[in-house]
Amino acid sequence: MMSKRLIASYVLDWIVIILIVAVGGGINGVEPYKRPFSLVDLSISFPIVKESVSTGILVGISFGASAAIIFLVVAIAVPGPRGSRDLSRSKLWMRKFWELEKGWAGLALSLAIAFLFTQGLKLLFGKPRPSCIARCMPDMSKIEQYTVGGYATALSPEWVLVGAGICTNPDTHTTNDGFKSFPSGHASFSWSGLLYLSFFLCSKFAIRIPYLPIQGSQDPLEHRHTQPQDREMLPLHQDHTRAESNHTESSYKALHATSPPPTQPAHSPGFAMRNQAASPPNHLIIVAILPVAVAMYICSTRYAEFYHFGFDLLGGSLIGILSAWFSFRWYHLPIGRGSGWAWGPRSRDRAFGIGVGVGNYVGDEGWKAAKEGRRRHEQEAPV
């Protein structure tokens, strides 16, 4: 069993994600800064159009659909044909649960970060939307009263900058929303959820550009140490039985009995460089691109329906892309080298943090409860 201390630390991780979402939702109700605007600015004089991708649909696609697809992929494809043969039923379900929890945690973290940053920046910039004037419903008789700059009255009394006080729309939510153009929330939320989903699918189905392995990285000794970890209930902790370790080592020796000298990659003896990797099947490109295409479509509707300018969409997309990349790498190994796995658990005594001089969050004590760890050590100790 995993130690209660470690379980509590992962519960805390989810609480932090929920708090990030709560803060983003809380500041959404704050009145934004309203940048002065011109009543004769045609770029903000577009009509209000009913949106084809509402906030509810956006959440359903970026969060709901992505979470459902992650669940199906883990249920069907994890741990794969190789791992399924070597794991007991209980360990098989534990591996599935771990990959599912990390898949969902990464998705939630990506969306939460993008949501918080987007909502905060909207309040700070206060940029008028393309439909700002229609939302504002300005009182044209009070132009002089609310003039704040741009004194070109010699040409026309309307050629000035006015403050938001000139707005008469009784619906304050609509008025405030007219000054939340940058960055685009639909862009950041769609990219943070759907690009993360694309990363997840590429990882699980090995959809990547072929590359040559680094010479010497597949050292036989290193390979021997990583083999037992692949059979663990949770990756990356060398907490396995002596029998399993001996079985793995004997299998390794049989596999590499005719291996070349260490100067060649251990996994490709005698192969030419061009035969050490190959491109994935082309139909898998659809799997990787489809979520990205949906995100691009959502962004296009925000421009075509006069909710955002192009720069707003670029800014929101950048937030979403960075959030997705960060969150995926936070929980998952690199796509090209991780064989589709999430990072393993933190060690029991490093569950809540480590001090200066400690290498990382994985230690020799493993992730199991202290009593079970001592009992295992006593059983494996020589007589």
Structural domain including 294 reads 4-32+46-135+173-209+281-345
Question: Would residue 249 count as lying in a domain?
Answer: no
Question: Would residue 168 count as lying in a domain?
Answer: no
If you search the block for the tokens 């619906």, which residue do you land on?
171
Domain total for the chain? 1
Question: Residue 364: its pLDDT value, please?
Answer: 78
Question: Residue 201: its pLDDT value, please?
Answer: 96
Question: Would residue 126 count as lying in a domain?
Answer: yes
Closest CA to 111 of 160, 155, 61: 61
Question: Would residue 334 count as lying in a domain?
Answer: yes
Question: Residue 346: its pLDDT value, please?
Answer: 87
Q: Is the dihedral of CA 229, 230, 236, 239 positive or negative?
A: negative
Question: Would residue 202 count as lying in a domain?
Answer: yes
* Strand (E) or helix (H) holding 172: helix 172-177
Question: Would residue 316 count as lying in a domain?
Answer: yes
Question: Would residue 102 count as lying in a domain?
Answer: yes
Question: Would residue 295 count as lying in a domain?
Answer: yes
Closest CA to 290 of 200, 210, 211: 200
- Tens-digit pLDDT profile for the chain (383 aa)? 678 888 899 999 999 999 999 999 999 989 999 999 999 999 999 999 999 999 999 999 999 999 999 999 999 988 877 666 677 778 888 889 999 999 999 999 999 999 999 999 999 999 999 999 999 999 998 988 998 887 666 566 678 899 999 999 999 999 999 999 999 999 999 999 999 999 999 999 999 988 877 654 443 334 444 444 434 445 444 443 343 344 334 433 433 343 344 444 445 555 677 778 888 899 999 999 999 999 999 999 999 999 999 999 999 999 999 999 999 999 999 998 888 899 988 888 888 888 888 888 887 776 676 655 555 544 444 44
